[in-house]
Chain A
Amino acid sequence: QVTLRESGPALVNPRQTLTLTCTYSGFSLNADGMSVTWVRQPPGKALEWLAHIDWDGDQYYNPSLKTRLTISRDTSKSQVVLTMTNMDPVDTATYYCARIPGQCSPSICSSFGYFDFWGQGTLVTVSS
Chain B
Amino acid sequence: DIQMTQSPSTLSASVGDRVTITCRASHYISDWLAWYQQKPGQAPKVLIYDASTLHSGVPSRFSGSGSGTEFTLTISSLQPDDFATYYCQQFNTYSKFFGQGTKVEVK
Q: B-contacting residues of A (Cβ < 8 Å)?
A: 37, 39, 46-49, 52, 60, 62-63, 96, 98, 112-116, 118-121
In the complex, B1 has a CB within 8 A of chain A: yes
Q: A-contacting residues of B (Cβ < 8 Å)?
A: 1, 32, 34, 36, 38, 43-46, 49-50, 55, 87, 89, 91-92, 94-101
CA distance A64 to B44 in the complex (A): 23
Q: Out of A62, A113, A120, name the residue touching B32 (CB < 8 Å).
A: A113
Quick check: B43 and A113 within 8 Å, CB to CB? no
CA distance A37 to B98 in the complex (A): 13
CA distance A56 to B48 in the complex (A): 27
CA distance A46 to B91 in the complex (A): 17
CA distance A47 to B96 in the complex (A): 11
CA distance A37 to B101 in the complex (A): 19
Quick check: B95 and A62 within 8 Å, CB to CB? yes
CA distance A112 to B98 in the complex (A): 16
The residues of B that contact A47 with a CB separation of less than 8 Å are 36, 38, 44, 87, 89, 98, 101
CA distance A46 to B88 in the complex (A): 11
- With A63-B1, A112-B49, A113-B49 known to touch, is A49 a contact of B96 (CB < 8 Å)? yes
CA distance A115 to B34 in the complex (A): 9
- With A114-B46, A115-B46 known to touch, is A46 a contact of B96 (CB < 8 Å)? no
A117 CB, nearest partner CB in chain B, Å: 9
Q: Out of A63, A114, A118, A119, name the residue touching B89 (CB < 8 Å).
A: A114
The residues of A that contact B100 with a CB separation of less than 8 Å are 46
CA distance A46 to B97 in the complex (A): 11
- With A114-B46, A118-B45 known to touch, is A49 a contact of B1 (CB < 8 Å)? no
The residues of A that contact B92 with a CB separation of less than 8 Å are 113
- With A46-B101, A63-B1, A113-B32 known to touch, is A118 a contact of B96 (CB < 8 Å)? no
A123 CB, nearest partner CB in chain B, Å: 10
Known: A37-B96, A113-B92, A116-B46. 8 other contacts (CB 8 A): A49-B96, A63-B95, A96-B44, A113-B32, A113-B34, A114-B91, A116-B49, A119-B43
The residues of A that contact B43 with a CB separation of less than 8 Å are 96, 98, 118-121
CA distance A62 to B93 in the complex (A): 11
